Amino acid sequence: HPNVLYTCHLESTDAEWAAEQYEAALRAGARWVDVELDAPEGLIERVKSLAREVGAKLVISYHNYALTPSVEELARVAERCFELGAEIAKVVTTATDTADCITICKLYRSLGERKSALVAFAMGSRGAASRRLSLIEGAPFTFVAPDGGTPTAPGQPTLAELRATMEGPSLVGLKLPTEATPPCSKSYFQRAIVAATLAEGISHLA
Protein backbone atom coordinates (compact mmCIF):
# COMPACT_ATOMS: atom_id res chain seq x y z
CA HIS A 1 0.00 0.00 0.00
CA PRO A 2 1.41 3.43 -0.91
CA ASN A 3 0.47 5.09 2.38
CA VAL A 4 1.38 2.74 5.25
CA LEU A 5 1.77 4.18 8.77
CA TYR A 6 3.98 2.10 11.08
CA THR A 7 4.25 2.35 14.86
CA CYS A 8 5.95 0.34 17.60
CA HIS A 9 4.83 0.60 21.22
CA LEU A 10 7.58 0.39 23.79
CA GLU A 11 5.74 -1.22 26.72
CA SER A 12 7.20 -4.67 26.04
CA THR A 13 10.42 -3.91 24.19
CA ASP A 14 13.53 -1.75 24.35
CA ALA A 15 14.44 1.31 22.32
CA GLU A 16 17.17 -0.40 20.29
CA TRP A 17 14.86 -3.18 19.10
CA ALA A 18 12.17 -0.61 18.32
CA ALA A 19 14.64 1.47 16.29
CA GLU A 20 15.48 -1.62 14.21
CA GLN A 21 11.78 -2.21 13.52
CA TYR A 22 11.24 1.41 12.49
CA GLU A 23 14.20 1.23 10.13
CA ALA A 24 12.96 -2.04 8.61
CA ALA A 25 9.51 -0.53 8.07
CA LEU A 26 10.94 2.60 6.46
CA ARG A 27 13.27 0.63 4.21
CA ALA A 28 10.29 -1.50 3.17
CA GLY A 29 8.36 1.58 2.06
CA ALA A 30 6.35 2.87 5.02
CA ARG A 31 5.35 6.47 4.29
CA TRP A 32 4.58 7.43 7.89
CA VAL A 33 6.09 6.44 11.23
CA ASP A 34 4.48 7.14 14.61
CA VAL A 35 6.75 7.50 17.67
CA GLU A 36 5.45 8.12 21.17
CA LEU A 37 6.25 11.48 22.77
CA ASP A 38 7.52 9.78 25.93
CA ALA A 39 9.93 7.56 23.98
CA PRO A 40 13.64 8.17 24.64
CA GLU A 41 14.62 11.35 22.78
CA GLY A 42 17.45 9.49 21.09
CA LEU A 43 14.92 7.13 19.51
CA ILE A 44 12.81 10.02 18.24
CA GLU A 45 15.85 11.66 16.64
CA ARG A 46 17.01 8.40 15.08
CA VAL A 47 13.59 7.64 13.57
CA LYS A 48 13.22 11.24 12.38
CA SER A 49 16.58 11.05 10.62
CA LEU A 50 15.67 7.77 8.93
CA ALA A 51 12.29 9.15 7.87
CA ARG A 52 13.92 12.21 6.32
CA GLU A 53 16.40 9.98 4.50
CA VAL A 54 13.70 7.98 2.71
CA GLY A 55 11.18 10.80 2.29
CA ALA A 56 8.71 9.55 4.90
CA LYS A 57 6.87 11.69 7.45
CA LEU A 58 7.00 11.64 11.23
CA VAL A 59 4.04 11.46 13.61
CA ILE A 60 4.77 12.05 17.30
CA SER A 61 1.94 10.86 19.53
CA TYR A 62 0.71 11.50 23.06
CA HIS A 63 -1.80 9.25 24.83
CA ASN A 64 -3.62 9.91 28.09
CA TYR A 65 -5.53 6.81 29.18
CA ALA A 66 -7.07 8.43 32.28
CA LEU A 67 -8.68 11.73 31.28
CA THR A 68 -8.74 14.75 28.97
CA PRO A 69 -6.49 17.55 30.32
CA SER A 70 -7.16 21.24 29.77
CA VAL A 71 -6.90 22.87 26.35
CA GLU A 72 -3.80 24.75 27.52
CA GLU A 73 -2.02 21.58 28.61
CA LEU A 74 -2.92 19.75 25.40
CA ALA A 75 -1.72 22.70 23.32
CA ARG A 76 1.65 22.53 25.09
CA VAL A 77 1.81 18.81 24.30
CA ALA A 78 1.11 19.45 20.61
CA GLU A 79 3.73 22.20 20.46
CA ARG A 80 6.29 19.87 22.02
CA CYS A 81 5.58 17.32 19.28
CA PHE A 82 6.20 19.98 16.62
CA GLU A 83 9.39 21.13 18.36
CA LEU A 84 10.74 17.57 18.12
CA GLY A 85 10.16 17.56 14.37
CA ALA A 86 6.71 16.03 13.91
CA GLU A 87 4.88 16.70 10.67
CA ILE A 88 1.78 15.48 12.50
CA ALA A 89 1.11 15.82 16.24
CA LYS A 90 -1.22 13.07 17.45
CA VAL A 91 -2.95 13.92 20.74
CA VAL A 92 -5.26 11.23 22.12
CA THR A 93 -7.05 11.50 25.45
CA THR A 94 -9.77 9.60 27.31
CA ALA A 95 -13.23 11.14 27.60
CA THR A 96 -14.76 10.98 31.08
CA ASP A 97 -17.60 13.29 30.00
CA THR A 98 -19.17 14.22 26.68
CA ALA A 99 -17.94 17.78 27.30
CA ASP A 100 -14.42 16.49 26.61
CA CYS A 101 -15.37 16.50 22.93
CA ILE A 102 -15.61 20.29 23.19
CA THR A 103 -12.12 20.41 24.70
CA ILE A 104 -10.79 18.59 21.64
CA CYS A 105 -12.53 21.08 19.32
CA LYS A 106 -11.05 23.97 21.27
CA LEU A 107 -7.59 22.43 20.95
CA TYR A 108 -7.85 22.57 17.15
CA ARG A 109 -8.94 26.18 17.25
CA SER A 110 -6.14 27.14 19.65
CA LEU A 111 -3.48 26.00 17.15
CA GLY A 112 -4.55 28.30 14.31
CA GLU A 113 -3.00 27.29 10.98
CA ARG A 114 -1.26 24.34 12.61
CA LYS A 115 -4.57 22.57 13.21
CA SER A 116 -4.19 20.88 9.80
CA ALA A 117 -1.14 19.10 11.24
CA LEU A 118 -3.05 17.81 14.29
CA VAL A 119 -4.83 14.50 14.79
CA ALA A 120 -6.65 14.74 18.12
CA PHE A 121 -9.62 12.91 19.59
CA ALA A 122 -10.86 11.37 22.83
CA MET A 123 -11.17 7.62 23.33
CA GLY A 124 -14.15 5.93 24.93
CA SER A 125 -17.88 5.97 24.27
CA ARG A 126 -18.22 9.52 25.61
CA GLY A 127 -15.57 10.72 23.18
CA ALA A 128 -16.89 8.96 20.08
CA ALA A 129 -18.19 12.23 18.59
CA SER A 130 -14.71 13.76 18.79
CA ARG A 131 -13.49 11.40 16.05
CA ARG A 132 -15.96 12.90 13.59
CA LEU A 133 -15.53 16.43 14.93
CA SER A 134 -11.75 16.17 14.51
CA LEU A 135 -12.20 15.82 10.75
CA ILE A 136 -14.61 18.75 10.70
CA GLU A 137 -12.10 20.86 12.65
CA GLY A 138 -9.32 20.15 10.14
CA ALA A 139 -7.57 16.88 11.02
CA PRO A 140 -5.81 15.37 7.98
CA PHE A 141 -6.98 11.86 8.92
CA THR A 142 -8.31 9.75 11.75
CA PHE A 143 -8.19 6.10 12.82
CA VAL A 144 -10.83 3.42 12.18
CA ALA A 145 -11.12 -0.34 12.44
CA PRO A 146 -11.54 -2.40 9.27
CA ASP A 147 -15.13 -3.35 8.55
CA GLY A 148 -15.73 -6.55 10.49
CA GLY A 149 -12.44 -6.04 12.35
CA THR A 150 -11.63 -5.42 16.00
CA PRO A 151 -11.19 -1.82 17.22
CA THR A 152 -7.72 -1.02 18.56
CA ALA A 153 -9.04 1.59 21.01
CA PRO A 154 -12.29 2.16 22.94
CA GLY A 155 -14.85 4.04 20.87
CA GLN A 156 -13.05 3.50 17.57
CA PRO A 157 -15.59 3.15 14.73
CA THR A 158 -15.28 0.90 11.72
CA LEU A 159 -14.66 2.45 8.34
CA ALA A 160 -18.31 1.91 7.35
CA GLU A 161 -19.57 3.48 10.58
CA LEU A 162 -17.45 6.59 10.15
CA ARG A 163 -18.48 6.95 6.52
CA ALA A 164 -22.13 6.69 7.52
CA THR A 165 -21.79 9.52 10.03
CA MET A 166 -19.79 11.70 7.65
CA GLU A 167 -22.23 11.21 4.78
CA GLY A 168 -25.38 11.51 6.89
CA PRO A 169 -27.09 14.62 8.29
CA SER A 170 -24.63 17.15 9.65
CA LEU A 171 -24.80 20.30 11.74
CA VAL A 172 -22.00 21.81 9.68
CA GLY A 173 -23.25 24.49 7.31
CA LEU A 174 -26.59 24.96 9.06
CA LYS A 175 -27.42 28.39 10.38
CA LEU A 176 -27.84 27.56 14.02
CA PRO A 177 -29.34 30.14 16.37
CA THR A 178 -26.71 32.06 18.28
CA GLU A 179 -28.92 32.44 21.38
CA ALA A 180 -30.65 29.71 23.33
CA THR A 181 -32.57 29.43 26.57
CA PRO A 182 -32.11 25.87 27.76
CA PRO A 183 -34.35 24.49 30.52
CA CYS A 184 -32.91 23.74 33.92
CA SER A 185 -31.52 20.39 32.86
CA LYS A 186 -27.88 19.42 32.86
CA SER A 187 -28.23 17.18 29.81
CA TYR A 188 -30.03 19.87 27.80
CA PHE A 189 -27.48 22.48 28.81
CA GLN A 190 -24.62 20.28 27.61
CA ARG A 191 -26.36 19.93 24.25
CA ALA A 192 -26.69 23.71 24.04
CA ILE A 193 -22.96 24.08 24.70
CA VAL A 194 -22.17 21.67 21.85
CA ALA A 195 -24.48 23.62 19.51
CA ALA A 196 -22.80 26.87 20.55
CA THR A 197 -19.39 25.38 19.83
CA LEU A 198 -20.42 24.51 16.28
CA ALA A 199 -22.19 27.81 15.57
CA GLU A 200 -20.47 30.91 14.22
CA GLY A 201 -20.33 34.14 16.21
CA ILE A 202 -21.18 34.59 19.87
CA SER A 203 -23.79 32.43 21.57
CA HIS A 204 -25.50 33.50 24.80
CA LEU A 205 -26.47 30.70 27.17
CA ALA A 206 -28.62 31.69 30.13
Which residues are annotated as catalytic? 63, 90
Buried b (16+ CB within 10 A) or exposed e, 170-192: eeeeeeeeeebebeeeeeeeeeb
Q: Find, among 192, 173, 171, the residue nearest to 181 by Cα.
A: 192
Q: How many helices (H) and strands (E) does the chain have?
A: 7, 7
Instruction: Calculate ∠ Cα 18-66-99, nearest 5°.
Output: 125
CB 121 within 8 A of CB 95: no
